Chain A
Amino acid sequence: MKRVLALALCAVLCAALVPSALSEETAPYRYDNPITLKVAVFDRGVTGQTPVDDNWWTDWIQKSFGDPRNITMKFIPIPRSEEIDKLNVLMASGDAADIHFTYTESVITNFVQQGGVVELSGLIDEYGQGLKEYLGEELLEFGIFEGGQYAVPAKRVVLATTGFFLRKDWLDKLGLPLPETKEEFYNALLAFRDQNPGGVEGLIPYAFNYDLTTHNHMMLSFISSLDEKTLATVPDILWDGYDDYVLYLNKLYNEGLVSPDFALDNNETHTKTVAAGQAGGYTYNYDHPIRVSPGILGALNAFEPEADLVSVNAFESVTDPSKYYHSMYAPNGIFNFVPMYAKNPEAAVMYLDWLCDMDTLYFLQNGEEGRHHELDEAGVPILLDVTDETKFNSMQNIDYTLLTNGQEFSDPSLMIKAQSYSYQNYADKFEDMYNVANIDPLVTNFHFDVILSADAQYNTSLTAFKRELLTKATMAKPEDCLEVFHQLRDQYMRDGGQAVMDEKIIAWDNMRK
């Protein structure tokens, strides 16, 4: 009897203390005493950006979300290029914000394993109805680790990953069609090298940088073992056909078709050679050339108005030459999580919930009518070029819309159109790039709902080692290429690759039971 009474008393007390979800419908819950909510934000270090933690948009967030709830919003800048290092330091030193995020699952696994992340399912049930509706069961499942909702993944509107871009005007000048096979792609680069259609000094037929692991579609075209289990559990360097991919890269390098100093370029210098008109093409995000920032095609057109970069579909699969596999993102985007240091985890969930609200999202992605966009006849916002202090620091304000990756639009039939308007002058080029990147989609990245402890331990160093391995094999003498590759591949497996693979195979078999 006493226990029951105590429990009842407890429940009453808790109900009084914890903000009620019911009031959310009408007016947002208001804290009696002001609280502070710290939210991480990527700092991409773009030239001319406004301070990412204090600008017109953060002021709007404070006004629309913070003020009515008596919450002071504080944004904690995280340098984009050293995101994980910074996150690890903040978590270890206890200075973490209330909402953090990362794309790298193994980093979250590591934190979850050590008990540093708040389990959110209860709080989401209470304060996150809008969030639940927006993401849906299937997406939320990506945030489950060891049966707990430790992360809230963002929704990816566009699943396309990368594109291979070539200078269409150079191909035209040489009378070459757009390459449709690996052989034609190689021949196009040969023609660029030998005939220098642009007449440029320091010509680079195809720009590489130090990270060759981005050439996924090219790699997939060589692979003959595309069953789901292999894709999910075995590291790609062991897949059947990977040898031929490495040989192809090696051929491109040794014949002088790619940036000679690519191994030294960890600073995106290769995109600058494209913008400067020296390079015949490059690989990057499927829409990279036409993005407003960093504006590669824009910079190129400024002095070469007839220059044109198009996305090529040139990597036919060895299993079926009519297939052109394109690796896809899983439908989840970045993982948001609440570190255990958060004093008000419920406020963090309220904030995430608010970010899923269509009105919030519309404003963050499109801004004010007249200032940031105009509406076309169908009511789709066309973004304007804003350069004053109200400008977007990131495309579609992705660094503030934590649960959305890509232009969200309530009417799916107008989605592509809404997407394309973000590209301002190059809106008409978007659809082409989007379509190429979505041909024969193949998801190569799987989420396991158990803790992968070997992966958490080795992922970061293996990722770096794979980069090193590809670079060395590519730059080896042609006759040594495979030997170098196999030797380093063995080392990769010894230094953790095998442990990760074994663990994933067990996890896979358990999931399929």
Chain B
Amino acid sequence: MTASPPSAKRRSSRDPLLRRVYRSRMLYLMLAIPLVQYAAFRYAPLAGLQVAFKNFNMFRGMWASPWVGVAVFREIFGNPKFWLALRNTVALNALDLLFGFPIPIILAIFLYEMRNMTVKRAAQTILYLPHFLSWIIIGGIVTQIFGSAGIANQIASRLLGRNANFLMNETNWTIVYVAVGVWQSAGWGTIIYLAAISAVNTDLYEASEVDGCGRWRRIIHVTLPCITPTIVVMLILRLGQMVAIGFERPYVMANDMVLDSAEVISTFVYKMGLRNARYSFATAVGMFGSVVNMVFLLSANFGAKRLGEDGLW
């Protein structure tokens, strides 16, 4: 942007702060809505983290419960089930990242390159659809398809000559878990990349055509480099969620046979906190997860900047 015209500069230095705020009151009012929301639902609950350092008594309340220092964390780090849940969370998230992250990018490029608008619209609708299904419904569908009487197992057992056991063997279950996750979210994930691709300057496409690029080389040399900043930001955000995992998907898809692979931080917190009423323990586990997430996020951001990308801030 060019420098402000001199008249504007003079006016702003003359105006007291309150006047300026008043003049833009509508903008500040609009800003206040998310700020209040953040204060009430993101910052105020942070006070509850003290439960992790207390012997929480649900009837005396958070403030009156006695402090116990890091005793709760000691118990957690000595609990093998916690390490199992942590390992599974990172492993499942890493698999999701490996398979779930590139697919929306590839899909978005394919969708963008489609010429026939009708086919493109239909494809988009079909791809978005699973995103709107609740995990409970998806869980039911998965059991129907991959259970021993399901169609997938019927076909697989014919080929293998034995029951493929998709859902009750840990390796198979993990594959199904990741695949279902990709199916559910890939279409929806294309939206942000489609937006990024549409923002690419069409002059670049024309220039590449003049230089004799085919479609394939145009994708490699124009589209991908142009959306790299978006990809990097998405990747950083994703890495900041390595220890955070949704609750419904692992909880709904798990069964007793695969719990050693399927127990993750969120389900572990639910079982310890709500079912066993061990609130201090559950809070401390959740807090530990958040700290690890923070570390992932900061290092990913640092790494991106070292590689010459913009990063988050």
Interface residues, chain A, with chain B CB atoms under 8 Å away: 84-85, 88-89, 91-92, 107, 110-111, 114-116, 202, 210, 260-261, 263-264, 266, 340, 457, 460-461, 464, 467-468, 471-472, 475, 495
The answer on a CB contact under 8 Å between A457 and B278 is: yes
Within 8 A of A (CB), among B278-309: 278-279
Chain B residue numbers with a CB within 8 Å of A475 are 168, 257
Give B residues with C-beta under 8 Å from A.
57-60, 80-81, 143, 147-149, 163, 167-168, 255-257, 259, 271-272, 274-279
Apart from A88-B275, A264-B168, what are 16 other A-B pairs with CB-CB below 8 Å? A85-B275, A88-B277, A91-B277, A107-B277, A114-B57, A114-B60, A260-B148, A261-B167, A261-B168, A263-B256, A263-B257, A460-B276, A461-B272, A461-B275, A464-B275, A472-B256
Interface residues of B, dominant DSSP: loop
A84 to B274, CA, bound (A): 8
Residues in chain B near residue A457, CB distance under 8 A: 276, 278
B58 interface neighbour in A85, A91, A107, A467, Cβ under 8 Å = A91
List 9 contacting pairs A-B, 8 Å CB cutoff, sorted by A: A110-B277, A114-B59, A115-B57, A115-B59, A261-B143, A263-B255, A264-B143, A264-B255, A468-B256
CA–CA, A263 to B169, complex, Å?
11
Task: Report the tally of A-B residue pairs with Cβ distances under 8 A.
Answer: 69
A195 to B182, CA, bound (A): 44
Q: Are A471 and B257 in contact (CB under 8 A)?
A: yes
Q: B163: which A residues are within 8 A, CB to CB?
A: 260
Given contacts A263-B168, A475-B168, contact A92 B58 (CB under 8 A): yes
Is B275's CB under 8 angstroms from A460's CB? yes
* B259: A residues at CB distance < 8 A: 468
Assess the A264–B57 pair: CB atoms within 8 A.
no
Query: Do the beta carbons of A471 and B256 come within 8 Å of each other?
Result: yes
CA distance A448 to B37 in the complex (A): 49
In the complex, what residues of A have CB within 8 A of residue B256's CB?
Answer: 210, 263, 467-468, 471-472
Check A89/B274 contact, CB under 8 A, given A261-B147, A264-B255.
Answer: yes
Instruction: Provide the residues of chain A in CB contact with B277, threshold 8 Å.
Output: 88, 91-92, 107, 110
- Contact at A210–B255, with CB atoms within 8 Å? yes
Query: Which residue of B is nearest A201, CB measured?
Result: B149
Task: Give Cα distance in the complex from A158 to B40, angstroms.
Answer: 52
A362 to chain B, nearest CB (A): 38
- Which of B59, B143, B277 has the largest number of chain A CB atoms within 10 A? B277
Complexed CA–CA distance, A472 and B168 (Å): 10
Residues of B within 8 A of A115 (CB): 57, 59-60
Min C-beta distance of A484 to chain B, whole Å: 11
Residues of B within 8 A of A88 (CB): 274-275, 277
Complex contacts, A114 vs chain B, CB 8 Å = 57-60
